[in-house]
Amino acid sequence: MLEEIVISAREALAVGASIYLGAFVFGIIALLIRKPYPRTAMFALLTGGFLFQTLGLNLRGAEIKGCPLGNIFEISQFIAWSLVLLYFLIGPAFKLRLLGFFTAGLAGFLAATALLIPNWDQPYPPGIFGGNPWIELHAALAIFSYAMFAIVALVSAMFLIQQHGLKNKQFKGLYQHLPSVQQLDLMAKRLLITGVVVLSAALIFGAVFWINHPERVPVFKLAATCFVWAGYLTVVVLRLQKRLVTRRHAIASIALFIFALASLWPVQSARDTIGTEASATQQTSE
């Protein structure tokens, strides 16, 4: 009887993605019929989706005996999970209306897309990181920083929408629920700086492994990661110098996040290499 109610990792992740998408659709309907924004209901739905996704990631971690970041499927799920976690952490502090709505949309899109593309869930040997804590810490911090950049992209999109409404003197519907452009701009700046700090820490921990095993890190993967870091660092510096502000800053943040997502493919290639070599080493030792 107990075996019949056990849920698999993929099923739990599918339920979580469905709840996220359901929350997003629920928010769209509420906005279209011009009812008060259901912040409490949105928070409850995101909590339900987050719990199922947490269960799914834990089950996947138990299966692979490590942090579930071994293929594009798991990376996408982890980014979506981290994105919702960040919403729970910063949402109440900043009190940004509609942030939950946009978070549900992006988290649902990432999680559902990963589930719908079978090639993203390629199998790999257990212990893909070779038991190296530096690599696991590097990977977890890097993906978490990407989730922070995802929040920055969402806030930037909200900024562009609100700015468009102000220019066209539209104050009803979606626009009336959005925070002020000043609040959105300030939040994007703070989160961007924090994300760069986290990604910098990830690169430092990764460098510890790279120095000892440079042959196990593909040049293309290293270059892509460094380009993402350099791009965001440049935006931060220009923002602090007030040379890249408001609309241009928002567009740059969104464009960089799209590039960061695209860079996950070389990251995956590197993990495949590490996992294969670690497995071969283990078999040789046995």
Q: Are residues 177 and 42 in the same domain?
A: no
| Residue 266: alpha-carbon gap to chain centroid | 17
- Residues 88, 69 share a domain: yes
For residue 241, with 0-12 CB atoms within 10 Å meaning exposed, 13-18 middle and 19 or more buried, which class applies? Answer: exposed
Cβ–Cβ < 8 Å for 75, 110: no
The per-residue pLDDT for 85 is 95
Shared domain for 93 and 231, answered yes or no, is: no
Q: What is the dihedral of CA 178, 180, 182, 185, to 10 degrees?
A: 0
* pLDDT band of 21, cuts 50, 70, 90: very high
Task: Examine the domain organization and report whether 113 and 214 are in the same domain.
Answer: no
Would you say residue 239 lies in a domain? Answer: yes
CA distance 193 to 260: 16
Closest to 141 measured CA to CA, from 200, 219, 209, 65:
200
Greatest C-alpha distance within the chain: 71
Is residue 286 situated within a structural domain? no
Q: How far is CA 69 from the centre of its chain?
A: 12
70 pLDDT higher than 60: yes
Residue 283 above 80 pLDDT? no
Would you say residue 105 has pLDDT above 90?
yes
- Domain boundary (98, 117, 136) is at 117
Q: Are residues 5 and 110 in the same domain?
A: yes
* Contact call for residues 46 and 100 (beta carbons, < 8 A): yes
* Percent of the chain topping pLDDT 70: 83
Nearest to 42 by CA among 85, 102, 126: 102
- Domain co-membership, 145 together with 33: no
Q: Are residues 134 and 249 in the same domain?
A: yes
Round to whole Å and give the CA distance between 177 and 55.
Answer: 33
What is the predicted pLDDT for the residue at 224?
Answer: 80
Q: Where is the domain boundary, 86, 117, 148?
A: 117
Residue 184 pLDDT more than 70? Answer: yes
Choose the final residue of a domain: 85, 117, 149: 117
Predicted structure pTM score: 0.84
Q: Is the pLDDT of residue 16 over 70?
A: yes
For residues 134 and 108, state if they share a domain.
no
User: Which residues constitute the domain of residue 22?
Assistant: 1-117
Least confident of 204-208, 222-226, 255-259, 269-273: 269-273
Give the count of domains, the chain.
2
**246 and 134 in a common domain:** yes
Q: Place 165 in a pLDDT band, splitting at 50, 70 and 90.
A: confident
Angle, alpha carbons 28-32-33 (nearest 5°): 120
Is residue 78 domain-shared with residue 94, that is, in the same domain?
yes
Q: Which residue has the tokens 């290499």?
A: 273
Closest CA to 159 of 176, 182, 192: 182
Average pLDDT, rounded, for the chain? 83
Report the chain's C-alpha Rg in angstroms.
Answer: 20
Residues 108 and 129 placed together within one structural domain of the fold: no
pLDDT at 241: 92
Q: CA separation (Å) from 242 to 23, 149, 237, 239?
A: 37, 20, 9, 5
Cα–Cα distance list, 35 to 58, 80, 166, 257 (Å)? 37, 28, 21, 32
Looking at the fold, whether 235 and 168 belong to one and the same domain comes out as: yes
Q: Give residue 267's pLDDT.
A: 55
Q: Residue 82 domain-assigned?
A: yes
User: pLDDT tens digits, residue range 214-260?
Assistant: 666 666 677 788 899 999 999 999 999 988 888 999 999 999 999 98
Whether 75 is in a domain gets the answer yes
* Contact indicator for 109, 11 with CB cutoff of 8 Å: no
The secondary structure of 65-80 as a DSSP string is TS-S-SSHHHHHHHHH
Kindly state the average pLDDT of the residues 99-120.
93
